[in-house]
Amino acid sequence: MANYVIRRWYDIGLMLAALAIVWLMVGDLGRMQLILVLNFVVLVLHQFEEMRWPGGSPWILNEVFNRRDGPADRYPLNQANCAFINITAWAFYLVPVILPGAVWLGIAQVLFGMVGQLIVHGVVINIRLKTIYNPGLAAVVLGHVPLGIWYLVEVNGQGLVNGWDWLFGVLMLAAFVGGIMLRLGYGLMSDKNTRYPFEPWEMARWNRIQHLTRTGITPLPLGTGSS
């Protein structure tokens, strides 16, 4: 079971998104909770877009965004630390739904999607790949950005946000990105000898070799036993 979760967490995420939509339909949620649940659904769709369809994030992250010396299918990101980062993100997005009065948690959530993800996917990766689209960007532009704006309009319009909320929200976001994603995920959990390299089909998604060659980026070698 654990192996399946590590390898197919993004498929499991779609089931959680479906349950979240049912929750929206039958639950008695306030408007801010509604926005935050929708933002969670968009997060899961964003992850599916990155990993499954059209896919390509494993090689984009390891060979373009955070390029080191490889092997490209397992370092610095592999199936295990990728699952850890993204499943932790589910909690990062759902806790504000459960605690809607803690506006700073909601601010951290929406800033991650509408600002952080937009910068990474809309600017950094597109510049490095010389593209106008990369897997994950559609969900950010069509989902995270408008929902983030809606949330901020709501909390400001209702007078629910103050300077402390912004401060704690930014600090929470920094702790998640710096501590969970970078320190643990990309740092302590990185392993060139991992039992969980990305599978060949995951590395081939979104025309890896064609995109790297067109951009002038030399593909990194894959690990022993990969093709």
Domain boundaries, the chain: 2-215
Q: What is the pLDDT of residue 225?
A: 55
H helices present in 52-162, as ranges: 57-60, 79-98, 103-111, 126-129, 137-139, 145-157
- Please state whether the predicted TM-score (pTM) of the whole model is above 0.85: yes
pLDDT band at 182 (very low <50, low <70, confident <90, very high): very high
C-alpha to C-alpha distance for 36 and 140, rounded to whole angstroms: 14
Going from the C-alpha of 62 to that of each of 56, 58, 165, the distances in angstroms are: 10, 6, 35
pLDDT digits (tens, 9 = 90+) for 183-207: 999 999 999 999 999 999 999 999 9
